[in-house]
Chains A and B, each alone.
Chain A
Amino acid sequence: MADFNLVSELLQKGKAKDLSALVAGMLDEGVSANDILTNGLVAGMNVVGVKFKNNEIFVPEVLIAARAMNAALKILGPVLAKEGVEPIGTAVICTVKGDLHDIGKNLVKLMIEGVGIKVIDLGTDCDAEKVVNAVKEYNADIVCLSALLTTTMLYQKDIIDALKAAGVRDEVKVMVGGAPVTQAFADEIGADIYTSDAASAAEAAKAVLIGA
């Protein structure tokens, strides 16, 4: 019997090395990569997400858990691809132009991948044209825009405008986030979804795709 609880626990504690070893061992034993992802890693990150929302844990623990998840995903990734698990949708994610902060963006990416969404990561300091092109190229369902600076958050609107101008605005849901972003700001710039943390972002993204 594969011990998914242990996977989840090691993830929550952020024990990257132990977790990687455990995941590699489970794969050797023939446990399905998708099961490890869903029942172990994602389950663990969900606990992390809920605890974070309830103020039981804080950013440091989330970051450490995320590092462990990344380490495990490096091992799982190639096997997942072989198992041919179909993603439930595609998201394009970036930190907007002028902004180099990627901690929040990477967390959201991780959580969104965890719920089975394929993520195209455009990195930081990303201009509108790049987002529009990626939306077209990958036929994306969701666009996730991160901004940590009050000086760069307005660029989220520029990207939404560019999506409109390119005629693809209605084909995607736009999610915005980042420390200075609020629901009111999201409404003001015409974004579809705002969430205050990465776990909620993943839930919202999943709801959009399954509802659609």
Chain B
Amino acid sequence: MSDIKIAINVGDKRRYVKADGAENLLEVLRRNGYRIPADCGGAGKCGKCEIEISRGDGVFKKVLACKTLAEGVSDIRLNEEKGSGLLFFDTISPSDSKEKGFGIALDIGTTTLAFYLVDMFTGKVIDTLGSLNPQRVYGADVLSRIKYATEGRTHELHALIAQETKNVVEKLMRNNDVEKIKRLIVTGNSTMLHLFADVDPSSMGASPFTPVFTQTMRYNDGAFGIFADEIILMPSVSAFVGSDVVSGGVAVDIKGGNNALIDMGTNGEMLLNINGALYCTSTAAGPALEGADITCGMGGVVGAIDSVKSAGGKISYTTIGNAPPRGICGTGLVDAISVMLDTGVIDETGAFVSGESFYITDKVFVSERDVRKFQLAKSAISAGFETLLNSAGVKPEQIDNVYISGGLGFYLNIESAVKTGLIPREIRDKVKVSGNTAGKGAVMALTDKVMLNKAEDLCRTAHVVDLSQNSFFAEAFISNMYFL
């Protein structure tokens, strides 16, 4: 097969790459460093890798990169997008160490990376940077990453995250005139941490879902090519209750009362402390709450509709960065569905009363299919939480605080969350929206060694509630499906 030359056009920039005619365009683009999203991992199902191509005639048409071979293609046209990340919380952490120097806390999300540069003496976060997880070109969810790893490609995935970390760390140092990073503390779900550590996560891809490591991991000077004296990976409980949740538990001081923490994302991870006993679980919500697998969905980046309101029959919305709306992210979706219920666009079963879609702008809408995806997600979260309470033998009234974290966490409108059944009505007044608690916990652990001990203590004492064979959960999952 002959080499083909393809022009890649981004804006007014043009670059030529070589391809083999039998390769699909997704492979070609990835090989050349383009980060084309493919939530389904290139199965031709999600439609996110849509690009425009021309076959030498100057006429561009839309195709799925993963399903189009390079043969005969002369031009590719791309819209490049960059993530701005979700990096918001109070930026002071307790600093007992009085250690001089700078550290970085990194929260590796499946989609987004959040970096926090911390002055370790004051405990203050002096700069933050967000970027997209470069592994996402290998699928949006954890499982598609594991799938690639099972094909012997762990190191490839590791190299992507290590390189990105190195780049951002150096950028933070440059931007802030920092010469040396004493410590890099990393948190994230168990698969992300395995890949960061270049450890094959395959064993977490199928039952019994056993991680290779859960303990705190320490690496010295220059490990993974990253410029830091010491790298510490925070401890985790299991394949599904990762160090990000543990870190969140430390950040909200979960042990300080009868507290719960719900991290809302593709997996709803939860911790519950009742009279000193710690219960945890993880429920598979699917990517809807992160804006993936939703027709006009997108991550929480610039241009995403993040809130929707209705007043006097008029729909209003806001977007991240006040940019022109390009799509809708998780919080926007929760709001939109709440508005659709309030205005009678959909009924309590989730069916459209009239029409087939709910338009927020001319181009951004919520379809019936999106509503159904949301129903599955919210039901998984609320049923998971109910099951956790049931397993611990407590009623919602007995809980002091419910912290909601995760990418969705910071902007979530509690009224909308209650209205749509994402969180139970009984806990409404106990909810504290807490943003990225995983990142916050990692920042705290940077400057205060006690925090790392606390994290290890949480892991040691946690009872894991397995939902997969739980009949209470199965029943609650169906019961919570509608908007009642």
Contacts and interface: CB of A to CB of B under 8 A. Distances in A.
Contacts of B147: 150-151
Contacts of B143: 149-151
Contacts of A149: 143, 205-206
B372 A182 contact: no
A190 interface: no
Count chain A CB atoms within 10 A of each CB in B143, B206, B376 and give the residue with the most. Answer: B206
A50 to B, nearest CB: 16
B478 A98 contact: no
Contacts of A57: 351
Contacts of B207: 97-100, 124-125
A65 to B, nearest CB: 10
B53 interface: no
Given A149-B206, A150-B143, A58 B478 contact: no
B41 A60 contact: no
Count chain A CB atoms within 10 A of each CB in B150, B207, B350, B482 and give the residue with the most. Answer: B207
Contacts of B468: 100-101, 124
Interface string B167-211: 000000000000000000000000000000000001001110000
B369 interface: yes
B67 to A, nearest CB: 11
Contact of B41 (A55, A59, A100, A150): A150
B43 interface: yes
B368 A64 contact: no
Interface in A34-59: 55, 57-59
B216 interface: no
A63 interface: yes
B66 to A, nearest CB: 13
Nearest to A155: B206
B206 A151 contact: yes
Given A150-B144, A180-B43, A59 B150 contact: no
Contacts of B79: none
Nearest to B147: A150
Contacts of B43: 180, 182
Interface residues of A, number: 22
Main secondary structure, interface of A, reads loop
A152 B351 CA distance: 33
B206 A60 contact: no
A20 to B, nearest CB: 15
Contacts of B375: 58, 60
A61 interface: yes
A180 B146 CA distance: 15
Given A97-B206, A151-B205, A182-B43, A60 B146 contact: no
B469 interface: yes
A60 B144 contact: no
Contacts of B150: 151
Contacts of A55: 368-369
Interface in A173-208: 180, 182
Contacts of B453: none
Interface string B136-159: 000000011011001000000000
Contacts of B372: 58-60
Contacts of B205: 98, 149, 151-152
Interface string A46-86: 00000000010111110110010000000000000000000
B349 interface: yes
Interface string A147-174: 0011110000000000000000000000
14 contacts: A58-B372, A60-B350, A60-B376, A60-B482, A64-B478, A64-B481, A67-B478, A100-B207, A124-B207, A124-B469, A150-B144, A151-B202, A151-B206, A180-B43
The 8 closest A-B pairs by CB, nearest first: A98-B206, A151-B205, A58-B372, A100-B468, A60-B481, A150-B147, A60-B375, A125-B207
Given A64-B482, A150-B41, A151-B205, 19 more contacts: A58-B369, A60-B349, A60-B482, A61-B351, A63-B477, A64-B481, A98-B205, A99-B206, A99-B207, A100-B207, A124-B207, A149-B143, A149-B205, A150-B143, A150-B144, A151-B143, A152-B206, A180-B43, A182-B43
